[in-house]
Amino acid sequence: MKHYFFFNYFAYLIALLILSSCGGGGGGTISGNGSGSSGGGSSVFNTAEFRSNFGLARIGALTALNNNSTGSGIVVGILDTGIDLDNPEFSGRISSKSTNITEGAAISVDDLNGHGTAVAGIIGAAKNDSGIHGVAPNATLLVNKLNNAGSINILNVASGINSAVSNGAKIINMSFGADPPALPSSTEINAMQNAVNSGVILVVASGNSSLDQVLDMGRLSNCSGATGGKCNGFNANGQMIVVNAVTSNNTATTFGNQCGDTASACMVAPGEGVGFTLIGGGSGTGSGTSFAAPHVAGALAVILQKFPTLSPSDAVSLLFSSATDLGVSGIDNVFGRGLLNL
């Protein structure tokens, strides 16, 4: 069976409990009370809470937030380890249609690992003057729990995608992947095709194996229906983004998989030392392409709220065209379209 893992590049300490977890490529650290760089300027949003994730300022989120673009009314699907159900950062905004795919609908989607809560926080933690807030702090979070930790069943991935689509997600964030050189199974490809055909945008982390190509599902991000090869008939319809990570200085990380041959449908976002939400409350910092991808998912929620008549592919194109060029001029194999810039 193909081995899936979450792209969390860390081990972290919560209270007296040490909980370690690795994506491909090694380990790093998460610590409490994260801090980031200033967003600059005067704003009701430019607070210590905003600055607790430097990524918000780095992607230009302040401009969008100041224009009341907060993702309100947009459903973001999160396929992960669940979410901290009692965390005030998500109060009133976890969709009742969230489902525990791996353990059955009778079991809650409560997060026992921390990865899903961290991802959800970057997307949509509330603006409540505590911890951090997300790129889209008013978005609705549809959480499909794929596992508690470790490997993920292929069928769970497909079921998670299909469930998110049928329950109204406009964007699906997937911060996980498989060991190289794996490509998606036909079951997963069918679910992905169903998603994009239904107008859903797929956001996938590139992986933490320090490779010159992205992993697994991300390899299909710029496919246009070609048979054979990596695409196997899949057509992303311009509705898929694979995301690599950059440092606080906008340089390539040592762990992120480069955009490679998916560069035309790839971009980068902050993914080293970024702030996120912890189980039980408060905030921490950590690194991994797992945490770069949700910046993009949150940004899409902001775009879709602000421009409700925009098609999914046009929303993706807008993010690509507004990205800040990094590295070699134009689209390149490391940074793809460039740095996310709202």
Helix (H, G, I), strand (E, B) or coil at 269: strand
CB atoms within 10 A of CB 162: 18
The verdict on whether 115 is a catalytic residue reads yes
Q: Which of 159, 175, 290, 295 is catalytic?
A: 290
> How do 9-14 and 75-80 pair as beta strands?
unpaired
The verdict on whether 287 is a catalytic residue reads no
Structure tokens at 246: 């950059």
How far apart are the C-alpha atoms of 236 and 250, rounded to whole Å? 28
Please name the residues in contact with 216: beta carbons below 8 A apart, sequence gap of 6 or more: 4, 177, 178, 182, 183, 184, 207
Helix (H, G, I), strand (E, B) or coil at 63: helix
Select from 255, 254, 251, 288 the least CA-distant residue to 271. Answer: 288
How far apart are the C-alpha atoms of 84 and 211, rounded to whole Å? 32
CB burial class (10 A; 0-12, 13-18, 19+) of residue 232? Answer: middle
CB atoms within 10 A of CB 128: 12
Helix extents (H) in 52-185: 54-58, 61-66, 115-124, 154-166
How far apart are the C-alpha atoms of 119 and 208, rounded to whole Å? 16
Residue with tokens 């008549």: 309
Q: Are 132 and 175 in contact (CB under 8 A)?
A: no
Helix (H, G, I), strand (E, B) or coil at 233: coil
Q: Which of 21, 52, 80, 98 is catalytic?
A: 80
Select from 246, 252, 270, 256 the least CA-distant residue to 39. Answer: 270
The verdict on whether 163 is a catalytic residue reads no
Q: Which of 98, 115, 159, 283 is catalytic?
A: 115
DSSP state of 143: E
Dihedral over alpha carbons 43, 141, 205, 198 (to 10 degrees):
-120
Structure tokens at 209: 């194996």
Q: Which residues are catalytic?
A: 80, 115, 290
